[in-house]
Chain A
Amino acid sequence: MTETTKSGFKSAAELPDDLHSHLGILLLSLADNKRMLGIRYSDWILGAPSVEAGIACSAMAQDEWGHGRIIYSMLKDFGHDPAALEHERTSEEYRSSELLDCDVSSWPELLALNFLWDTAISVQVEMLLESCFEPIHYKVRKLLEEERFHFDHGSGWTSRLMTSDEGKNALGKAFATAWNACLRWFGPENDPLIEALVEGGIVSTNADCARMRWLNRVGPTVRDLGLVYTENSEWVSEPAPDWNGWSPVRRRASEGGPDADSLARARGDRNRSLL
């Protein structure tokens, strides 16, 4: 077992209304991001730079869908119908990042999802390790254990491409494009949703601490891309987060959502009649 939980909530029904609402938003966001990230990984099972990389994408896609499956199943206790969540939502109802709205066209862009975005999601999941909401507390260790390899894969490939000017240029563009969405994922400083969840013992640290943890995690590998610098042994983002157009409820850009093809895949539209 992990560390002892604080006076734990054994079910969603025990949560006070505000925590129930806030945690429901966070969990749906996590689930949708994992679902859509899995689809993006699956896009590269064929077409990755090597057979080995394609197999890794296959494994990572499977992991993300497994995690999504677990989190979606919890959401029925937060007022959601799991079947409707999976099959009936419009694009605008998805909470997944704008980074995942459509397929990416290059391996460096996929690495931005693998190394930057996937790590950002995992950092947020880490904040639930000591959660007093027991249904999530007893699941996250398994999720994080499976995520370790995702970080190693993203880090390894990023470092590998950094060794050539061509690779570094391509990474620089791809990572710069994804950077702001990653910074924003943790929420603004004093984000009321995260603050309330911290206060209630559901998550362990506030948005800025989580963002700092993410920067310290990815900073050493991306140091040469002009996105970070160090200050007092901490990694700091060179561009500050730009909150223009950010939706605190969707925890992503307020506009848009998965494109038609991605939505059809996520919902299983093609064979819907077989259900």
Chain B
Amino acid sequence: MPVLSVNRDAHERDTSHKLQCDEQMNLAAVLKETRGLRIDLPPPPDPPRAPQDLTERARYALYEVMDPELPISILDLGLVSDIAADELTGVVSVSLTFTATACPCMDFIKWDVRERLLEDDDICEVEINTVWDPPWTSAKISNRGREILESFGVAL
């Protein structure tokens, strides 16, 4: 079931049909050009307290992995259930959940997570586990994520 819907009130405030179209095209362009990586989002919050800590660094890096369908990071969307790095071997294990079992973007997201993490010279291998319990709900979206979604006219 879709859990997100376009905020009709927000759109109804826009009396210009052209403006709405432009916004949608901009969003589409953003999604197309930045799928998964390097979206021009606000800087990630809470930089690692100890940048040398590989787990924290890996987690922080995932703020740069964007959901392919929504303009927020997978961390803000609440898809990252767990992350743990082995400093000695450079193996990072990431537990991901998805909004729906039929999410068509699962492979994209896993690919992007792996690619981004492997950019870190200290990470040699990325293990990705898919978890379904506890099930994802919109309550997992961060406050920052909610603000970004609202700015795009998406209400929860």
Contacts and interface: CB of A to CB of B under 8 A. Distances in A.
Binding partners A and B: yes
Nearest to A145: B135
Contacts of A142: 101, 132-133, 135-136
Interface residues of A, number: 19
Given A59-B2, A149-B1, A1 B101 contact: no
B133 A66 contact: no
B1 A146 contact: yes
A69 B133 contact: no
A70 B101 contact: yes
A65 interface: yes
A2 interface: yes
B101 A2 contact: no
A62 interface: yes
Interface in B58-115: 100-103
* Residue among A62, A65, A137 with most chain B CB within 10 A: A62
B96 to A, nearest CB: 13
B128 to A, nearest CB: 14
B134 interface: yes
A141 B1 contact: no
B132 A141 contact: yes
Contacts of A89: none
Given A59-B2, A146-B1, A138 B133 contact: yes
24 contacts: A2-B133, A59-B2, A62-B102, A63-B101, A66-B101, A66-B102, A67-B101, A67-B102, A69-B101, A69-B102, A70-B101, A70-B132, A137-B133, A138-B133, A139-B133, A141-B132, A141-B134, A141-B135, A142-B132, A142-B133, A142-B135, A143-B101, A143-B132, A146-B100
Interface of A: 1-2, 59, 62-63, 65-67, 69-70, 137-139, 141-143, 145-146, 149
